Structure 1
Amino acid sequence: MADKTNRSISIAAAPERVMDVIADYDAYPQWVAAAKSVEVLSVGANGRAEQVRFVLDAGMVKDTYVLEFDWAADGRSVRWELVSGEIQKAQSGSYTLVGEPDGSTTVTYELTVDLNIPMIGLFKRKAEKAITDTALKELKKRVEG
């Protein structure tokens, strides 16, 4: 798999509030522009989603895929892997939250996507950067709004 794209943002809220927004998949279509529908398929013993199906429409990129989530016991990070997808053959990612002394949270988003269609590395990295930047900005707006 290719190199990970790694982006961070500061959000004016406690880590618990940020993680609650990240974990509320049912609400994603309300604030994630590309998420046309999101369905929690299974829930783990911790009460958080274990498998989730996403229908994504980001203009030229459309996909239906299922991710499996692994939630850290401390509530400060979540990792995921692709279970199935139409145009993706692999996806791994994570959100890591660090509480700051001023009460804000630094959120780091790592993402690696491998598609079934050929894509020049430069374009792939630009697409991953756009995805992570947009996701972090939308998350910030949702939490702080």
Structure 2
Amino acid sequence: MADSTQSTIDIAADAATVLDTIADFDAYPEWATQVKSAKVLSEDELGWPEQVEFTLDAAPIRDTYVLEYDWDVTQDGTGSVSWHLVRSDLLKGLDGTYSITGSGDTTSVTYKLAVALKMPLIGALRNKAERTIIDTALAGLKKRAEG
């Protein structure tokens, strides 16, 4: 991912709980405040969500888009969840990864995100939007997984 932003958070929950929280897209509007809706469109042969449609309001980025997911995770919940953009009106790229590590009751999650808009946007504004999306998502994921 070129020109990406990333951040890491420690969560007081086991990796399987964190992974289950990430995979529960129906609940995203409850904890990922910029996500107004999320709908699983398809699943892979193992039952993991494969394509998900989101409606996002993270000013200056407001859009409805579809992401395709790759679940490279182990049975204990560690590994990575990656996604890339399938379609959007505003975005020309949205690539991200949750890297999940840890053992026992503590899990570390690193969120890496790269956003590319179809319209020109100053790099500092794009970075600020990425940082806002990441920080809000990680804080919400922590609260939801620990709750």
Structure 2, unpaired ranges of 5+: none
1:87 to 73, 86, 90: 90
Tell me what 1:142 maps to. 144
Q: Distance in 2 between matches of 1:109 and 1:60?
A: 20
Q: Distance in 1 between matches of 2:67 and 2:95?
A: 9
Task: Give the superposition deviation at 1:60.
Answer: 4.1
SS in 1 for 2:109: strand
Q: Distance in 2 between matches of 1:2 and 1:120?
A: 16
Tell me what 2:130 maps to. 128
- Identity score, percent: 51
TM-score normalised over the length of structure 1 = 0.93
1:52 lines up with 2:52 in the alignment? yes
Tell me what 2:117 maps to. 115
Q: Distance in 2 between matches of 1:144 and 1:25?
A: 17
Q: Distance in 2 between matches of 1:15 and 1:138?
A: 16
Structure 1, unpaired ranges of 5+: none
Tell me what 2:61 maps to. 61
1:14, 1:104 within 8 Å by CA — same for their partners in 2? yes
Q: Distance in 2 between matches of 1:58 and 1:11?
A: 24
2:29, 2:37 within 8 Å by CA — same for their partners in 1? yes
Task: Give the superposition deviation at 1:117.
Answer: 1.3
TM-score normalised over the length of structure 2 = 0.92
Q: Distance in 2 between matches of 1:142 and 1:119?
A: 32
- Matched residue type, 2:122: I
- Matched residue type, 2:43: V
Tell me what 2:23 maps to. 23
Distance of aligned partners of 1:60 and 1:126 in 2 relative to their CA distance in 1, 3 Å threshold: closer
Distance of aligned partners of 1:109 and 1:142 in 2 relative to their CA distance in 1, 3 Å threshold: same
Task: Give the superposition deviation at 1:61.
Answer: 2.7
Distance of aligned partners of 1:77 and 1:30 in 2 relative to their CA distance in 1, 3 Å threshold: same
Distance of aligned partners of 1:73 and 1:10 in 2 relative to their CA distance in 1, 3 Å threshold: closer
- Matched residue type, 2:86: V
- Matched residue type, 1:84: R
